Structure 1
């Protein structure tokens, strides 16, 4: 497929509402860091080595492509900056890869659930994504792809340390498992700091929506393992699964407490946010994310009933700066993006409301 397919496809398949505990866990991600034996790592390799690695990995990927997962290859330096930004916003490439000017590329499966980044911090990073809480299933998919590639690629591996990587924190399994969680109740009740401290003691890390160095938008947090050495892949997955299940229980408890003690205030907050999304003429990404978070919580608590979660998922993607400009068809200044973002949200939410009203009238007429 050409790049336009991935740029204009809206919310990716891994951001659906069908996964386990999808009201709190938006998505699951498994990432495996690997390097090729006999080549210097990307931090110090030459342009010639970068080209060689790209060609070797791409050839291996094409050999294992099949009807279930067919991959398209794109070279980063050939992409305009805006297109790179859109792929970052869809979590198909990392912010670091988007800035690469040496030979770096990405292979993306047609359903956008798998991407393999070449010559980012490591020679290749295998990434698999799924909706909801699916750590075991998503790891199985990543592990299968990794095993297939290992038949064609000479991985850099040490019997004592495991897989060798550019960053010492990834040495060992090279596995980074993460979940993206919507935690508005824990944030509103000011319990999120306690959760973050607890996670740090357990060897977990909490980051923003785009990983390391990114900010928290719309009460969305990315929680992942920090240790990859000295534990097996299964232990890492089990530890994160246990932690996430506990956080889900805490978030549900916080939601119940808020609903019991502040229902009218919550209803006011949710409906004001929905009104803002439907009628505002200027909207920053921060305000849009906050309003979408409120409306999402309202839907989860069955207070707001006219907005499906899949529409909110799409809106979460639409509000990002790259997507706003992609839809506008041109680069925009920040103030212009705020105006166009509000327009996109009005069109998306009001169109859905109108459709639901018409469907309701048809049922009533019958």
Structure 2
């Protein structure tokens, strides 16, 4: 089970009651090669070879998607180590991972190279330091597509410049309960930020999780982009915590306790549970744990459950392909066992 959980999940998590994770992504392309959607097989293979050789002394391991079964590819998506877009054409695509899986380098997705550093909690500066270090290592060995007037050249014009996307994943259940989440998040696109679902662009929110990221990479330095994201994130954190305090007010506390314990009761005792129901209950239980209303389990256990209930990870745990009704059975069994495990 531990081997199937993403390595980046564990460790210090500043503001971890609201911020699930921080991610830095750098988009880069190699000079002299067409962008991936126009490159031929020879060029795509050259990109993989050049990056692998540049990082051969850093401890990174190459995983080729065309050498994997579909279940293994989906596992990487569920661990947030690659994007769903990379699966659309796995031929001549891959990902390079460091040992603790805090840095992943997608090869031949939308751009030749996408360096991703992900850490728990609000840790954008630390994630930037890790991504920037690998970027420096690569830039010393390969020639990036770069123009003095605009910066790094990318497939999508919105990534031109620094090529940096800084994002945070936030858990906002209380704002949802007081019917304020849309109001709070709807302001952000007007001030330069994108709001997306758990798998990024074009995806919906699950379990009241939302990604906030910068819209523009041109005309701002990396430090300015990160500073702006941290500033707006802290404002949303304050609003979520204020909503939680309101829910804990004397007249609402009992209703909130009933809500989170009902969710915990079903989650910990159910014999059949779909992924949709599991995520809905997970959302309520995590809120209860972070508010100190459910002392029986830790936030770490509940955060781990977010991954263990997913189809590809679940099937790897069981060791075979599962029909939907079988997944509902094994998902409930794994949840029960996981919640009964005592943490020291």
Q: TM-score, normalised by structure 2?
A: 0.97
The residue number in structure 2 matching 1:53 is 47
The residue number in structure 2 matching 1:43 is 37
Counterpart pick for 2:178 among 189, 195, 202: 189
Query: Shift in Å at residue 99 of structure 1?
Result: 2.7
Counterpart pick for 1:74 among 59, 63, 70: 63
The residue number in structure 2 matching 1:117 is 106
Is 1:10–1:314's contact at 8 Å kept on the other side of the alignment? no
The residue number in structure 2 matching 1:283 is 273
The residue number in structure 1 matching 2:320 is 330
Matched, 1:24 2:14: no
Query: Shift in Å at residue 8 of structure 1?
Result: 6.0
The residue number in structure 1 matching 2:306 is 316
The residue number in structure 2 matching 1:9 is 3
Query: Shift in Å at residue 102 of structure 1?
Result: 2.4
Is 1:16–1:313's contact at 8 Å kept on the other side of the alignment? no
CA distance in 1, matches of 2:7, 2:233: 22
1:108-158 CA-partner distances (Å, limit 9, x unpaired): 111010111111110000010111101112112211211121010100001
Matched, 1:172 2:161: yes
Query: Shift in Å at residue 333 of structure 1?
Result: 2.0
Query: Shift in Å at residue 101 of structure 1?
Result: 2.9
RMSD (Å) for aligned C-alpha atoms: 1.4
Counterpart pick for 2:97 among 85, 108, 116: 108
The residue number in structure 1 matching 2:214 is 225
Task: Report the number of matched residues.
Answer: 343
Deviates more, 1:98-107 or 1:283-292: 98-107
Query: Shift in Å at residue 254 of structure 1?
Result: 0.3
CA distance in 2, matches of 1:167, 1:284: 37
Matched, 1:307 2:297: yes
Matched, 1:127 2:116: yes
Q: What is the correspondence of 1:141-180 to structure 2 with a 5 Å cutoff?
A: 141-180=130-169
The residue number in structure 2 matching 1:4 is none
Query: Shift in Å at residue 230 of structure 1?
Result: 1.5
Matched, 1:241 2:230: yes
Query: Shift in Å at residue 98 of structure 1?
Result: 2.4
CA distance in 2, matches of 1:161, 1:111: 34
SS in 1 for 2:321: coil
Q: TM-score, normalised by structure 1?
A: 0.91
CA distance in 1, matches of 2:328, 2:203: 20
Q: What are the ranges of 5 or more consecutive residues in structure 2 without an aligned counterpart?
A: none
1:56-80 CA-partner distances (Å, limit 9, x unpaired): 11111114x0xxxx21111101111
Query: Shift in Å at residue 10 of structure 1?
Result: 3.3
Query: Shift in Å at residue 17 of structure 1?
Result: 6.0
CA distance in 1, matches of 2:124, 2:43: 34
Moved over 4 A (4+): none
Deviates more, 1:34-43 or 1:97-106: 97-106
SS in 2 for 1:190: coil
Residues 263 and 8 of structure 1, relative CA distance in 2, 3 Å threshold: closer
Matched, 1:209 2:203: no
